[in-house]
Amino acid sequence: MTGLSSPILRASSTLAFFMANTLSLYLLLRGHHAPGGGFIAGLVTASSVVLLGYARGPEKFGRVLGADPGLIAGIGLAVAGATALVPILFGRAALEHFFWILGNNGWSFGTALIFDVGVFLVVVGVTTKVVASFAASSCGLPALVAEEERRYSSPSEEPLEGTRAN
Amino acid sequence: MSLGLGLALVLLLPAAGALAVALVPRRWLPFPGFIALGVAMASLCGVLAIGSKAGAHPSFVLDWSWVPECGLSLSFLVDGLSLFFAVIVLGMGVLVLVYSRGYMAGREGDHRRFYAGLLFFMGSMLGTVFSNNLLLLFIFWELTGLASFLLIGFEHTSEEARRGARMSLLVTAVTGLVMLLGIVMLKQVTGTYDLATILRSPLPQTHKDWLDACLVLLVVGAFGKSAIFPFHFWLPNAMTAPTPVSAYLHSATMVKLGIFLCARLFPIFGERELWAPLLGVPAFSTMLLGAVLALMSSDLKAILAYSTVSQLGYLIGYYALGPNGGVDYDYLHILNHLFYKGSLFMVAGIVEHAAGSRDIGKLGGLAPRLPLTAASCAIACAAMAGLPLTTGFLSKEFMLKEIFSAFSVHGYLGSFAVVCVVLTSLLKVAFSAKIILRVFFGKEPETVTAHFHAPSAWMTLPPAVLSGCALLAGIAPSFLNPLLQPFTVPGLHAGTAEHFQIWHGWTRELWVSLAVVLAGLALYRVSHYGDRPCPGVPSYLKAERLFEWLHEKTIAAGRASVRLFQTDREQSAVLAVTAFAGVTLGAFAWKQVFAGGFGPLLQFVDFTGGMSPLRLLVGVFIVLPALGLVLFRSWGGQLACLGISGFMVTVYFVLGRAPDLALTQLLVETVSIVAIYLLLGRCAKQGLLEQWSDLPSSAMAQGLRVAVSCSVAAAVGVLILVVTGMPHHNPVGNFFIRHTEDMAHGKNAVNTILVDFRGLDTLGEITVLLAAMLGCLGLLMRYRRNSEEQKQGRDLTPGLGLGEEGKS
């Protein structure tokens, strides 16, 4: 199985991927002041990854992002958790956010953005991982690489996709 | 060095040692046995230093705050009792660790787990005896049970070991929880968890029944830990542990915690009427029962386990009959048991190691091969039997003396105690003779000759040390007095201890002892005449049956309840779940309508009256695809309808000026449609759809489903109208909107709520999201075979989802 057969669609999906992610970055950064934010931006990026995955075919779906999406989600949770914990180390309340104005051109930066980036990564990772696994397994391919299979399956049960691959 | 720092070091060293041994890779930390030994010795030195610095009759409290809100503090009481037990724990710990060097030789792979377990136990044991806060005592108390669980189940590949470990954990943990109830009740009566305060001030004269209930609950904890009837069955089953563990936990230290607790409670509750019968009757019965079972057993460790049960009954019984002024010889009894039983357990380990068996019937004639061990065993058996020139003799003499004097004070309990003690002493003589004669004398069986290999000095020396102590203290008992004297605790000890002597003259006790020894030897001669095998313990005396029965029934009840609520066919549960939701939601909606009249509903009519044509159009576009969802037969069409319906809802959000919601709805709809599409693709041909059509669908059943669906829809609809119509007196949203700029430095209130005001919620949500992903992948890795496939074995293609193409 190799994804979409039309070369035009495959090419334009890459273009759409970059456009969608530009939008996603924009939504993520402006989220504090205008509609947007980590969750929405995460979903935009996830949709674009799903689109790209469809275009490239289910074998390559899980690797569209380069890294394991599960790992990305884990890192996201760690980032969000860190913004909760770090203030405690300085004797402040958990999840307290700080805010700086950068110069007088109206730019500002808040630690809330770091938290939002964590949310963004979790949403992207979880969505991509789940959809990619579904896609692969629905096409009769192993949903996970062998190492991951051991992590999620119980020894008394044969993984669903493992038997099919033989 | 201050005492506080010293005590902290003593307590932390074993814990730190356990962590280091368990976690640091062997490459960086070789010889875990020596590290454990060093830790134990350092802790022992620390305790001795604290003891010598604190002087005679110390009693002080070291306090670090922990959770003041619930009265829990890291509070430690240093007095004679805690120091005495700490010295025992660490001293015996050193000997056991030395012994383990020999016992665990050749099993280097398991060393780290073993020594880490022992150090973990040592640390929790020290914490228990030093605890001043009763809640802290409970925590450490349960930690010792946990350590015991890990160590009994050390040979975790053996079913027996797992069973013994589970049994001991269940019994000691559950009785520990009962003890916690008692602790909480005691706090309710006295107003504090602080042991030193409770010990200092007399109990309030009110709440007498409460105090009795407290006492019962606390004593249940002590009985569970010390294997007193009816909890005595776990200790023999714990003998599946490695022998050093049995010698350390299950004879010398952990099972003594019940005695420790009784000693702690004695000054508090000793004057209550309930004290003597509550402790005395079960304790003396256990003592006799244990001795009988020990004589019947043939496994060396089982004999020792039952005799330990017996001795624990003896010790608790001693506190039960204690006069009001205080007891005097409890340390002597404890030390005596420590010397001989520790030694005997180690001897049992040596015999098993050297001869390959622990069964008395398969052993014999080992004395010439193991002279030092035979001598240790002989002295220890003599002490167990209470022969002169050993500590056992002293212990028995003083016990008999106290009981004879308590005879008149305690009425029926006194006579009961006398009978039990005399009979038990007699039985002890018999099974002591059995151990020494059957194992070390007589003819050597061929199996032993074939298997024999000599034990190392690591193994033979520690029991010799213990037996030497028993002999030395028996020959020259007078030096025990000044040793034990500094440990006396006012309130617990009367301070009127006689000077220990070998010879007390021809007293009543001596005559009784003499008769007991003769009768015991005669009993052994009769019961084990010739080569008659040991009868073994009949199952009705093991008392495990009740436990097994309870255990089985609990599991069976769990299974039954699961079966009640779980089904393999999701479809058959859908109707019930939907109907339940409909009933509860409908009831709530009805109540609201009933209470508030039809006002909210009429509001809705007003609202629709002011509805723009655009809204109406969007509403039609939401409803039409929903109808299609019901009418289409193929899932592709149904899914498309569902998607259109969902996208159309977005328009409402836009009209309601909620751009964030609209964006989210749009994106979530997109991604979830894709996911559902993929999932349904798995079940295209024969999966779910066929299962649906399998359902018996008479007109009646269909009508029922339609009726349930319609009523749930109606209920939800009314509920939404009612809830949105209810006035909010102080909506929290206004606060967020007002303060989003000054408090969260953002203009988008939706986002500031998500990341700042309610950031913890979001953190929780993304955690759940990640957990859901993991669960999803786990489910994906599961494979359910149908019955046909199960018949054909594992190597077949899966059924659900992959259908015909998969097989071809």
**H or E element: which one contains B251?**
none
Measure CB to CB from residue B780 to each of A36, A38, A143 and give the nearest one.
A143
Judged by DSSP in three states, A104 sits in: coil
CB-based contact A131 B746, cutoff 8 Å: no
The full set of domain ranges for chain B reads: 1-269, 274-493+504-535, 585-682+701-727, 728-782
Measure Cα distances from A57 to A49, A53, A64, B684, B776 in Å: 12, 6, 10, 20, 21
Which tokens in the block code for residue B308?
């330990």
Q: Is A139 a domain residue? A: yes
The answer to whether the Cβ–Cβ distance between B746 and A115 falls below 8 Å is no
Radius of gyration over alpha carbons of chain A, in Å? 19
Residue of B nearest to A76 (CA): B766
Structure tokens at B446: 């061929």
All residues of chain A having their beta carbon less than 8 Å from the beta carbon of residue B747 are 32-34
Cβ B745–A32 below 8 Å, yes or no? Answer: yes
Question: Are B751 and A116 an interchain contact pair (Cβ–Cβ within 8 Å)?
Answer: yes
Inter-chain contact B679–A43, Cβ cutoff 8 Å? no
Q: Is residue A21 part of a domain?
A: yes
By the 10 Å C-beta count (0-12 exposed, 13-18 middle, 19+ buried), B255 is classed as: buried
Q: How far is A82 from chain B (nearest CA, A)?
A: 11
Number of H-type helices and E-type strands within chain B = 35, 2
Between B35 and A164, residue with greater pLDDT = B35
Asked if B678 lies within 8 A of A129 by C-beta distance, the reply is no
Average pLDDT over residues B773-778: 86
Contacts of A95 in chain B (CB under 8 A): 756, 759-760, 763
Please indicate whether, in this complex, the C-beta atoms of A140 and B802 are within 8 angstroms of each other: yes
Alpha helices, DSSP H only, in B457-598? 457-475, 480-484, 508-527, 539-542, 544-565, 570-596
Domain that holds residue A47: 7-165
Instruction: Label residue B631 by pLDDT band (50, 70, 90).
Output: confident
CB B134 within 8 A of CB B193: yes
SS3 B77: strand
Instruction: Name residues 57-86 of chain A within 8 A of B (Cβ).
Output: 70, 73-74, 76-77, 80-81, 84
Q: What is the average per-residue pLDDT within B62-76?
A: 86
Confidence of residue B798 (pLDDT cuts 50, 70, 90): very low
Which one is predicted more confidently, B657 or B143? Answer: B143
Element (H, E) at B64: strand B59-67
Confidence of residue B792 (pLDDT cuts 50, 70, 90): low
Window 686-745 of B, Cβ < 8 Å to A? 744-745
Our CA-based measurement puts residue B99 at a distance from the nearest CA of chain A, in whole angstroms, of 39
- Return the HEC string of chain A: CCCCCCHHHHHHHHHHHHHHHHHHHHHHHHCCCCCCCHHHHHHHHHHHHHHHHHHHCHHHHCCCCCCCHHHHHHHHHHHHHHHHHHHHHCCCCCCCCCEEEECCCCEEEEHHHHHHHHHHHHHHHHHHHHHHHHHHHHCCCCCCCHHHHHHHCCCCCCCHHHHHHC
Identify the band that residue B794 occupies on the pLDDT scale cut at 50, 70 and 90.
very low
Following DSSP, what letter does each residue of B708-727 receive, concatenated? Answer: HHHHHHHHHHHHHHHHHHSP
Provide the pLDDT for residue B687: 47
Contacts of B41 (CB under 8 A, 6+ apart): B94
> Is residue B153 classed exposed, middle or buried when 0-12, 13-18 and 19+ CB atoms within 10 A define those classes?
buried
pLDDT at A163 over 50: no
Of A37, A73, A134, Cβ closest to residue B754: A37
Does pLDDT of A162 surpass 80? no
pLDDT in tens, B644-678: 999 999 998 888 888 888 999 999 999 998 888 88
Residues 6+ positions from B712 with CB-CB distance below 8 Å:
B578, B579, B581, B582, B585, B586
Q: What's the number of domains chain A is made of?
A: 1
Q: Which of B748, B783, B795 sits opposite A32 (nearest CB)?
A: B748
Higher pLDDT, residue B411 or B607: B411
Which of B492-501, B627-636, B656-665 ranks highest by mean pLDDT?
Answer: B656-665
B73-108: pLDDT as tens digits: 899 998 889 999 999 999 999 999 999 988 888 777
Please tell me if residue A40 touches chain B, with a CB cutoff of 8 Å.
yes
What ipTM does this complex have?
Answer: 0.89
The size of the A-B interface in CB pairs under 8 A is: 181
Task: Tell me the pairing of strands B59-67 and B72-79.
Answer: antiparallel
Report d(CA A53, CA B678) in Å as an integer: 13
- pLDDT value of residue B693: 52
Among candidates B663, B772, B782 on the partner chain, residue whose Cβ is nearest the Cβ of A157: B782
Residue A137 falls within a domain, yes or no? yes
pLDDT number for residue A127: 93
Average pLDDT value for chain B:
84
Q: How far is B800 from chain A (nearest CA, A)?
A: 9
By C-alpha distance, the chain B residue nearest A119 is: B766
Residue B577: alpha-carbon gap to chain centroid: 37
Q: Can you give the pLDDT at residue A42?
A: 94
pLDDT at B568 over 70: no
A12 within some domain: yes
- Strands A99-102 and A107-110 turn out to be antiparallel
Query: In the prediction, which pLDDT does B138 show?
Result: 95
The pLDDT of B680-702, averaged and rounded, is 60
The pLDDT of residue B419 is above 80: yes
In whole angstroms, what separates CA A164 from the centre of its chain? 28
* pLDDT of B309: 93
Across the strands, what pairs with B131?
A: B76
Examine residue A1 and state whether it is found in any structural domain, yes or no: no
Q: How confident is the model at residue B634 (pLDDT cuts 50, 70, 90)?
A: confident
Rounded average pLDDT over B782-803: 46
Pick among B660, B668, B751 to test the A interface (most A CBs inside 10 A): B751
Range from A132-146, B572-586, B749-763 that averages highest in pLDDT = B749-763
List, in order, residues 6 or more apart from B313 with CB less than 8 Å away: B228, B229, B282, B283, B284, B285, B286, B287, B288, B290
Say if residue B425's pLDDT is above 70: yes
Confidence of residue B629 (pLDDT cuts 50, 70, 90): confident
Evaluate if residue B501 carries a pLDDT over 80: no
Partner residue facing A152 (CB), from B670, B777, B794: B777
Check pLDDT > 50 for residue B804: no
Q: How far does A104 lie from chain B, in Å, by closest CA? A: 16
Cross-chain CB nearest to A140 (options B752, B778, B806): B806
CA distance A127 to chain B (A): 8
β-partners of residue B63 are B75
Q: Where are the alpha helices (DSSP H) in B191-274?
A: 195-200, 208-225, 234-237, 243-247, 257-269
pLDDT of residue B569: 61
Say whether the peptide bond before residue B230 is cis (omega within 30 degrees of 0).
Answer: yes
pTM metric for this prediction = 0.69
| pLDDT confidence of residue A98 | 82
Per residue in A48-99, pLDDT tens?
998 888 888 877 787 778 888 889 999 999 999 999 888 888 888 888 888 8
CB of A110 within 8 Å of a chain B CB? The answer is: yes
- Residue B62 has φ and ψ, to the nearest 5°, of -110, 130
Flag whether residue A115 sits within 8 Å of chain B, measured between CB atoms. Answer: yes
**B679:A138 CB<8 A:** yes
Q: Indicate the range of B76-90, B498-512, B644-658, B762-776 predicted with least confidence.
A: B498-512
Report the percent of chain A where pLDDT is more than 70: 84
Q: How confident is the model at residue B783 (pLDDT cuts 50, 70, 90)?
A: low
Mean per-residue pLDDT for B370-398? 89
pLDDT of residue B68: 85
Using alpha carbons, select from B307, B311, B475, B333 the residue that is nearest to residue B390. Answer: B475
**B639 alpha-carbon distance from chain centroid:** 51
Read off the DSSP letter of residue B755. I
**Does residue B29 surpass a pLDDT of 80?**
no
Identify the pLDDT of residue B173. 92
CB distance B773–A73 less than 8 Å?
yes
Radius of gyration of chain B (CA): 36
First to last CA, chain B: 80
Under an 8 A CB cutoff, do B798 and A160 touch? yes
Q: Is A3 on the interface with B (CB under 8 A)?
A: no
Q: Residue B732 — pLDDT band, cuts 50, 70, 90?
A: confident
Question: How far does chain A reach from its first CA to its final CA, in angstroms?
Answer: 16
Q: Is the pLDDT of residue A146 over 70?
A: no
In sequence order, the β-bridge partners of residue A101 are A108
Q: How many angstroms separate the CA atoms of B538 and B795, rounded?
A: 48
Return all residues near B378 (Cβ < 8 A) that are at least 6 apart. Answer: B436, B440
Partner B contacted by A136 (CB < 8 A): no
Which residues in chain A have Cβ-Cβ distances shorter than 8 Å to B744? 97, 112
pLDDT value of position B795:
44
Report in angstroms the alpha-carbon separations of A152 from B534, B698, B772. Answer: 52, 42, 13
CB-nearest partner of B751 from A31, A43, A47:
A31
CA B570 – CA B576 distance, rounded (Å):
11
Residue A81 is assigned to a structural domain of this protein: yes
**What is the spatial distance between Cα B800 and Cα B588, in angstroms, rounded to a whole number?**
40
> Which one of B284-293, B389-398, B777-786, B794-803 scores highest in mean pLDDT?
B284-293
Which chain B residues are Cβ-neighbours of A153 within 8 angstroms? 778, 781-782
Considering only CB atoms, B780 lies closest to which of A40, A140, A160, namely A160
pLDDT interval class at B139 (50, 70, 90) = very high
For tokens 């350092």, what's the residue?
Answer: B42
Burial of B407 (0-12, 13-18, 19+ CB in 10 A): middle
Residue of A43, A130, A160 with shortest CB distance to B667 = A43
CB contact under 8 A, A112 and B769: no
Q: What is the pLDDT of residue B43?
A: 92
Chain B partners within 8 Å of A122 (Cβ): 766, 769-770
Among B674, B678, B802, beta carbon nearest to A164: B802
Whether B806 sits inside 8 A of A126 (CB atoms) is no
Instruction: Compute the distance between CA of residue B439 and CA of residue B437 in angstroms, rounded to an integer.
Output: 6
Please give the mean pLDDT across all residues of chain A: 82
Average pLDDT over residues B245-267: 91
What percent of chain B lies above the pLDDT cut of 90?
29
- Bridge partners of A100, per DSSP, are A109
B768 interfacial to chain A (CB closer than 8 Å) = no
Pick B781's closest partner by Cβ from A119, A134, A159. Answer: A159
- Give the pLDDT confidence score for residue A1 in this predicted structure: 45
